[in-house]
Structure 1
Amino acid sequence: MSLAPRDAAAATAPTRSGQSAPPAHVAIIMDGNRRWAEARGLPIPLGHKAGAEAVRRTIEACVEQGVGWLTLFAFSSENWLRPAEEVRALTGLLRLYLRSEVATLAKEGIRLRVIGDRSRFGDETMREIARAESVTAHGTRLNLTVALSYGGRAEIVAAARAIAEAARDGRLDPASLDEAGFGRRLFTADMPDPDLIIRTSGEQRLSNFLLWQAAYAEFVFQEVLWPDYDAEALADALREFGRRERRYGARTG
């Protein structure tokens, strides 16, 4: 399976069966773990644990559907403001997932990358992240990116700061800067922009996720809570994407 980024025309070209090709890059705002647990009278950490199982199902479904890039919004920069007990449960689950799943990801040909301010998780977790990225670096079936301690505004500010410093030091002519040059300073520098952004649990907002990269993405909002997400839910979103006409700002008709 080729995972090279596709151009705009290829992203919507019909397949041999007459169906639209799957989006090259799907990004998902995984929402609803807390509500799922509360609706069942369960502790919040069990909702996050159930959400981790949904991640496994979604990765498998993306491979089956021919999606080459999957980005999951797992922990936002604002999530640090949640109750300390919940944050500890989330970070503990993250370390457990990295330790228990990395061998399977490598075996299945899935490359894992993490974007965001990983330094906030501490040395132990940073080592686990680096190990997981190294072990899975040669995967070609699916590019899996997990956004951790990530915020779109902070990402843009960091890129702007790097550009300003380069201009100050004489390493960059500001007049030469274009959108592509700016994009190369983002966490997602070597990734295609998302074609489809999905948000679960019925909420309809980006919540500071991939603000720059979402310029021409299609959005699908689904009522399903994240722990209940499965292959059929993903297929529903992909079918909706297939019905969209993508213009990339060009006029038609």
Structure 2
Amino acid sequence: MLSCSGLAGGRGATTVFRDIDLTVDAGSVLALLGPNGAGKTTLLLTLAGLLPVKGGTVSLDGKPLRGGRPNVANAAGVVLVPDNRCLFNTLTVEENLRVATRRGGPEPKAMLEIFPDLEKRWSIPAGALSGGEQQMLALARALIQQPKVLLVDELSMGLAPLVVAALFRTVRRIADEHGCAVLLVEQHVDLALGVATQAAVLRRGEVVLSGPAAELAGDSGRLEQAYFGAPEPAPSR
């Protein structure tokens, strides 16, 4: 289980989010939604240790994680799939997976059970893959590290709808079969809520709405208000 309490963070002297209380249980998916600029990516980078904690706590299985130490977070089992994928473009699919393999962990070929489409691209440089294939590889590279917590930023960015739908099903399968907690930042609200267990909306650095994903999916009015705030009152005449 990943949890944060009263968490605040940002970049440099700027605080981007504050007072964040979130919990993601093992085997569940939390969809973190919200408008652009709300602080979602900054929150993920903070949880991954790539940005310092400005206040509050982050814990994994009840043990505190020291902020600003990505090696410590990764060793504890927190793995990030960034929005730009960060693949080694000149290395092949197999080589990208091999450099992420942990001692005693699964071999690269084991990832083909979940990502069979990568087999025919096994010896192709990552830079020559399609966008969907690159996203599969980024997920596979994260999964081979046997994460306890998987942080996924903008899974659907720049991809065709059919590819996106398949990738969302894969994320749900990873949570179900591998038992990791998944925190998913996403702009494609309907698909995210369709695979998520819980959801939260971040606006202007604060959680303004949270609850079961199925419940929020059925209440578009609450979602819209959480994204954009209360409508301006009509001027009096």
State the TM-score, normalized to the length of structure 1.
0.29
State the TM-score, normalized to the length of structure 2.
0.30
Whose strand fraction is larger, Structure 1's or Structure 2's? 2
Whose helix fraction is larger, Structure 1's or Structure 2's? 1
